[in-house]
Amino acid sequence: MIVVTCPGQGSQTPGFLDSWIAVPEYRTRLDELSELAKIDLVAHGTTSDADTIRDTAVAQPLIVAASLLAWTALTNLTDTASVGLAGHSVGEFAAAAAAGILTDADALTLVRERGRLMAHAATLEKTGMSAVVGGVEEDVLAAITQAGLTPANMNGAGQIVAAGSLDALASLAESAPRGARVIPLQVAGAFHTAYMESAVAELQRIADSVTPASPTHTLWTNHDGSIVTEGSSFLNLLVSQVSSPVRWDLCMAGFQNAGITGLIELTPAGALTGIAKRGLRGIPTVAVKTPDDLETAVELIASSSRGPSSEA
């Protein structure tokens, strides 16, 4: 099985949609998504600076829309009916839309409000996130707990993201576990922790107005790496995920159990294929960063019935 993945916050960079809007049909699609999100995604994907697109209220709809743009392009070029889907953190909204659980309009509306609410929650206390790369997992988790932090993202492949107060993150960096590096992330707050609980109730109220459908594709949830069988329960998980850890490690285990033969990461790509190269060794990967990468993704899907292909 080929698994198509949708990245999370932090994957965006200034100008990452320049090559996409150079293609008229993709520019039109991005304009449509901008209308649904009620935000100028064209400007934010091309001319906005790093500080602007780091803003949670901007970053989240921008990233989801970019993945939906790449998904539309991919589905127009090849049959994607048999691929599996998964998203990392906010990328789960793009995956939910690709899997037919949410409409594009509902996905972008929810993400816009999610970003707004999480941005507000992040102003209540000075918090952040740091990636802890390497080390022995047991030692890393113990150090995170000892510092008073939360393992907010269990990404697998030797990467755990710690979240909490800035002072506690600084303390962790000063006494990093043996063999590990602590790398501060450019995010506004301690996402996927109790610091985000103020956003959950309001997002649930908004989500209650949405009518989700059953998934049309195999879809894994960040909650525990299981396969989603019902739309409304997944929507509830999307809401609770705001203050709950992301278990990408369990999603990758689910991919392996399903017999993954290749992984494609939609725009803005790079982070998840990087993790996959370490955690799913030998599995071909394609990062769809520009329209030029679509051909390689199409070939990977086509080759899935012919056996393994070389890594892209």
Catalytic residues: 89, 192
183 by DSSP, 3-state: which? strand
The two three-digit tokens of residue 226, written as one number: 């299981």
Are 105 and 36 in contact, with CB atoms under 8 Å apart?
yes
CA torsion sign for 290, 294, 300, 301 is positive
**What span, in angstroms and rounded, lies between the C-alpha atoms of 214 and 238?**
15
Exposure of 225 in the CB half-sphere (CA atoms within 13 A): 16
Cα angle 11-13-18, degrees, rounded to a multiple of 5: 120
Q: Quickly count helices (H) and strands (E) in the chain.
A: 14, 8
Residue with tokens 């790093």, as numbered in its chain: 50
CA–centroid distance for 105 within its chain: 18
Token pair for 196: 């985000």
Helix ranges (DSSP H) in 147-260: 166-174, 197-207, 231-240, 248-257
Q: State the Cα–Cα distance between residues 188 and 247, nearest whole angstrom.
A: 21
Residue written as token pair 């409000």 = 113
Residue whose C-alpha is closest to residue 167's, from 123, 128, 119: 128
CB 195 within 8 A of CB 127: yes
